[in-house]
Amino acid sequence: MKKLAMVVAASSVLLSATSLTAVANDSIAEGLCTAISADDRQRLRTILSNHNMRVRNIYTSIRCNNYSMLQFAITAEAEQVGEMLTRQLPASVIDDDTVNGEHILSWAESTGYGSSAVVAAVRNRISD
């Protein structure tokens, strides 16, 4: 009976830790998206550094308003952050980035963001 109580207690601690991790991850993602929308490169770097993360490792799992981080930077007209993301991501990851199955450059052109400085940086990065 005592072992059962310890297992139940350990399970509840594990579930609580998992819930806290999910909340912490949501908080981190929200902070990253806020930094992108504010075009605050330093805040983005600080968040990444404080949590020992790299853009290339988290890029595919972070969504801001249902956009990837780079697409969100384009829509928010966050030039500094968008150019930083473009520099830090492998060209293949950028090239694979799609919005509803549409390539990021095609999406940008069709939605009126084709003249964005971030889109120009993406074009240069993909063509390298």
pLDDT in tens, 93-126: 999 988 778 899 999 999 999 999 999 999 999 9
- Residue type for position 98: T
Q: Is the dihedral of CA 45, 51, 56, 58 positive or negative?
A: negative
pLDDT at 4 over 60: no
Number of independent structural domains in the chain:
1
Among candidate residues 100, 96, 36, the one with its CA nearest the CA of residue 62: 36
pLDDT band at 48 (very low <50, low <70, confident <90, very high): very high
- Residue 26 has a pLDDT of 83
Per-residue CA distances from 98 to 31, 83, 115 (Å): 23, 18, 18
Q: Is the dihedral of CA 18, 20, 23, 26 positive or negative?
A: negative
- Residue 20 has a pLDDT of 34
Structure confidence by residue, pLDDT tens digits, 13-35: 333 333 335 455 888 999 999 99
Domain that holds residue 66: 2-127
Q: How far does CA 33 lie from the centroid of its chain?
A: 7
- Residue 80 has a pLDDT of 96
pLDDT band at 88 (very low <50, low <70, confident <90, very high): very high
DSSP 8-state symbol, 89: S
Write out the E strands in the chain.
Answer: 98-99, 102-103
Cα–Cα distance, 86 to 36 (Å, whole number): 13
* Percent with pLDDT over 70 in the chain: 80
